[in-house]
Amino acid sequence: MRWIVSVCRRAWRQLTSMRTALVLLFLLAVAAIPGSVLPQRNVSPEKVRQYLQDNTEWGPTLDRFFFFDVYGSPWFSAIYLLLFTSLVGCLVPRFRAHFVAMLRKPPPAPARFSRLPAHSSDLSVVPAAEVLSVLRRRRFRTVVRTTGDVTEISAEKGYLKETGNLVFHFALLTLLLGVAFGSWFGWHGNRLLVQGDDFAFCNTLLNYDEHALGAQVGEGDLPRFCVRMDKFAATYLDNGQPVTYKADVTVTQHGRSSSHLLQVNDPLRLDGANVSLLGHGYAPILRYTDKYGRTHENVSAFLPKDGMLTSDGVATFPDVNLNPSTGTRDEKSQIGFSGVYLPTLPSDPSLGRSAFPAENDPRLMLQPYRGVLGFDAGAPLSVYTLDQRQIDAKRLSKFGDPLMLKPGDKGTLPDGTTVEFVGTLQWISVSIRHDPGQPVVLVGASALLVGLLGSLIGKRRRVFFRITPTGMSAGGLPRGDYPGFAEEFASIVAAVAPAAQVPEQVAQTDVKEVV
């Protein structure tokens, strides 16, 4: 049993050492690299989906090890908790020791000033009160010790360095607490929001494309509000690079509706959540007329696959071709379209890529499919692709030649049915999140800068004076690397005894405290 206690004690000492804390901080930084390089589900689920489609070999392996959800992964959490524990175990003893040192009086003067890095002797005798006055004007902590006819003055200054060091590390600990608090009590979700009243979004879990709740958050804790996009406008450079994204949205909360302008890096701050604009795309409107003359309309968001907003997606019509006399439909006559949307048709259409992200000369390329779409099978399906399982099983097959349509154009399918490209609606992807740890993180980041500044500016040093009936001597000792200490010591001696000679200097080797 004793050896177990000994091993645990050694392990605790190793974990709470500053060296271990630095190693863990480095590991945390390295572990965060995949979160910056790879798309993350909590920010851009559509990019994760596209990455998995483009990297069928490595994608599933990376997904299995949480590389698309780095900050919620077990291995990142383990490093995070170990760093938190290490900092607490390291900082608490240091804070206690520093607090005791600040209350303790400066130590007695060493017996031999000549052993100090800076010293001066044979100074004219000055009353102790004048020496104290000079030192206190320079904000030194002082103490006077008298033994017989010998008076010694010890002065110390520069606790700001260690104080700043501790503030810096406690601020880092505060940052970790703020992030952990936000992870426990915060939540976030992503939603693709199409323009128009029919696609307004209300803040419930069922309406999110992707969401994550903190460990202490339930669905009933979500604030109640609805968001509708009324208009979207974008401007681009000649090379297609976006300059501005602006969305006019209407928010209904607490029984009141209000209009707002949503822009990139300018989130909409609601009561209990922030709404941020992430991306933009187009949603083609298709009108299909079946063989019984009934029309069906579909609005499907197409996902961009390049910077020019070349977008692909699908439009499905599972309830068409319903026989009006019998009220039944042939399941094998369901219609689906796999398409590519080009906002601006290039000079060579065979390239299959848009020439510009704005809708200067739009075209919609469609490949019709007929058969069983698979909606009745009960398996989850993507709204951005047709069910490949149905295609592989020959239950869903191509139906006619591809079509290229302009807004307002109609295409005719082999059975005489028609499809019309009505136009497009704009859509935006928004991130809605609540992070109660942000104020804590802000305080921690501010304190971290203040502590870093203090640790860089502060220079701890000690100065001693010994006054005897026959003369006065002085010595100085920097408590660390302080190249300017010799000049400061000389100025102090000159202020105490103006007629004194330049203080003698000892060669700068390894500075050790002499008390």
Residue bearing tokens 């509708």: 228
Domain CATH code at residue 490? 3.30.310
128 burial (CB, 10 Å; 0-12 / 13-18 / 19+) is middle
User: Residue 510 has what pLDDT?
Assistant: 40
Looking at the structure, tell me whether residues 245 and 230 fall in a common domain. yes
Looking at the structure, tell me whether residues 66 and 90 fall in a common domain. yes
Burial 358-380 (b: 16+ CB within 10 A, else e): bbeebbbbbbbbbbbbbeeeeee
Looking at the structure, tell me whether residues 213 and 338 fall in a common domain. yes
Looking at the structure, tell me whether residues 54 and 8 fall in a common domain. yes
**169 domain-assigned:** no
Looking at the structure, tell me whether residues 281 and 366 fall in a common domain. yes
**290 domain-assigned:** yes
Whole-angstrom distance, CA of residue 191 vs CA of residue 312 = 18
- Are 193 and 199 in contact, with CB atoms under 8 Å apart? yes
User: Residue 213 has what pLDDT?
Assistant: 85
pTM of the complete model beyond 0.75: no
DSSP string, 328-385: -B-GGGEEEEEEEEESB--SSGGG-S-S-SS-SB-EEEEEEEEE--SGGG-S---SSS
Sequence-separated (6 or more) residues with CB below 8 Å from residue 311: 281, 282, 302, 303, 304, 305, 340, 341
Query: Beta partners for 269?
Result: 274
The CA-atom distances, in angstroms, between 344 and each of 236, 238, 311 are: 13, 13, 11
Looking at the structure, tell me whether residues 426 and 473 fall in a common domain. no
Whole-angstrom distance, CA of residue 239 vs CA of residue 361 = 16
Mean pLDDT in order along the chain per 10 residues (515 residues): 81 84 88 88 75 86 88 86 86 85 87 89 87 91 91 90 88 88 88 92 89 85 93 92 93 92 91 91 95 92 92 92 79 90 90 91 94 77 85 90 93 93 94 92 93 86 91 89 87 80 44 38
Structure tokens at 166: 């501790």
Residue 238 has a CB neighbour count (10 Å cut-off) of: 6
SS (H, E, C) 44-103: CHHHHHHHHHHCCCCHHHHHHCCCCCHHHCHHHHHHHHHHHHHHHHHHHHHHHHHHHHHH
Looking at the structure, tell me whether residues 416 and 489 fall in a common domain. no
Query: Beta partners for 279?
Result: 429
User: Residue 159 has what pLDDT?
Assistant: 83
Looking at the structure, tell me whether residues 243 and 379 fall in a common domain. yes
**448 domain-assigned:** no
Looking at the structure, tell me whether residues 131 and 92 fall in a common domain. no
Q: For the chain, how many structural domains are there in total?
A: 3
Sequence-separated (6 or more) residues with CB below 8 Å from residue 216: 184, 185
Domain interval for residue 471: 106-158+459-505
By DSSP bridging, strand 418-434 and strand 141-147 are unpaired
| DSSP code of residue 385 | S
**193 domain-assigned:** yes
Question: Which of 56, 74, 100 is where one domain is finished?
Answer: 100
Question: Which of 59, 74, 100 is where one domain is finished?
Answer: 100
Question: Which of 65, 100, 135 is where one domain is finished?
Answer: 100
Looking at the structure, tell me whether residues 117 and 69 fall in a common domain. no
**446 domain-assigned:** no
User: Residue 331 has what pLDDT?
Assistant: 75
**74 domain-assigned:** yes
Looking at the structure, tell me whether residues 153 and 213 fall in a common domain. no
Residue bearing tokens 């992430």: 278
Instruction: Give the phi and the psi of residue 107 in degrees, each rounded to 5.
Output: -70, 165
**444 domain-assigned:** no
**339 domain-assigned:** yes
Structure tokens at 404: 């290229």
The CA-atom distances, in angstroms, between 133 and each of 141, 153, 401, 489 are: 11, 12, 98, 16
Looking at the structure, tell me whether residues 325 and 264 fall in a common domain. yes
- Are 316 and 298 in contact, with CB atoms under 8 Å apart? yes
